[in-house]
Amino acid sequence: MYKFKILLNYWKLAEMPFLQVPSSLHSILFLSPKPFFTKFSKTLISVSNMSNPTEPTSETVPQTPQNYPTPLSPPLPSVSKDIELTRAMSASSKSSLFKLSRSDILYEDEWLIAVNKPQGIYCESVLASVPCLLAGNSAESGQLNAVYPTMNRMTEAKPPELHLANRLDRDTSGVMIITKSHKVASKLVKAFTNHKVSKTYIALCVGPAPKWERTTLKSGHGRSKFGVWRVYASSDVGRNLPGGSVVKDMVTSFEVLSVNGQGSLRELSEFQKNVTNVIVVEEKAMIDADAKKDEILVRAFPQSGRTHQIRLHCQYLGISIRGDVKYEGVYEWNGRTYEGHELHAESLSLEHPVTGCPIMFQAPLPCWASQALQSP
């Protein structure tokens, strides 16, 4: 028989009719076999000294919560969980069968390749399909080598070391760069980190038509205590968040291209970075839920590289991206359901990591963007 020395709180014992405890005692010495202790272990409180029940312990002293900043964008809608799970399963199936075609290639040289990623395909699947594409190129060059044998020795090289230079969300389409060596990958990572790469995106949003034609939004960005990306006040940048991360700055410029089909696709060079209409986020957005909803095609210029940056800023502006259920975008619109958000990485501009020459990769508009520029 195992014996345990347990000090029992008087008030817990008083609830047990089979134990008679003198009112003058606050605790007693209790000896019991192991089975009894196991049965009532949830009721018994083990302490080393209960001579003074009012003395505070580590369990009774309230813990002061850290003063974390409050997110200004709403939490994920409850409906998004099931929809996102279905989309992820569908994308996984499609991605396992995906193969790049020559029509997906925007640019290629001996150091890198730029591709137009389709919507609903994971970046890793695009990367995995590149060797097959390059092998096809080798097969074509092999025909020349049969005619000119010396060419084979000249073009022999080890397999390329493929890396993703940038990533896109599963449902975001558009420009992706894949490097063919570690050295080039390192240079491009440095260029992205130092904000030496200019990016533009096209998004189809649903909400009240903005009163501005061009604007710049400045806010904080970080994960809330539930691990979800949220918008924070600009003044919260640098403050600690749950999990040890900090609020980082997030800046995006926008221009309206069309509203309900009325508008046009401006040239990239027409956008002026010195936008006078600047919104500095310090409080929650005031969105009129009953206002008339329009289809707005916007071009976004992210000046920082935060996760889900454009999606979060569109949500804050009250013009969530169509199909983006994670950030309050409509799932059903005009009698149709959307299986992914409509966001497109339109262009990347940078200095070539080897030659140093300025270069721009631009992906053609997807169908939904072209249709949004046409009057109904």
Return the active site residues.
169
Query: Tokens standing for 61?
Result: 């002293």
> Per DSSP, which regions of 93-167 are E strands?
105-108, 112-117, 163-164
Rounded to 5 degrees, φ, ψ at 95 are -65, -35
C-alpha closest to that of 282 among 239, 216, 236: 236
Query: Tokens standing for 79?
Result: 């409906």
Residues pairing with 299 in the sheet? 202, 255
Rounded distance between C-alpha atoms, residue 166 and residue 1, angstroms: 66
| CA 179 from centroid of its chain's CA atoms | 23
Rounded distance between C-alpha atoms, residue 321 and residue 372, angstroms: 13
Which DSSP symbol is given to 246?
B
C-alpha closest to that of 113 among 149, 160, 148: 160
Rounded distance between C-alpha atoms, residue 120 and residue 86, angstroms: 12
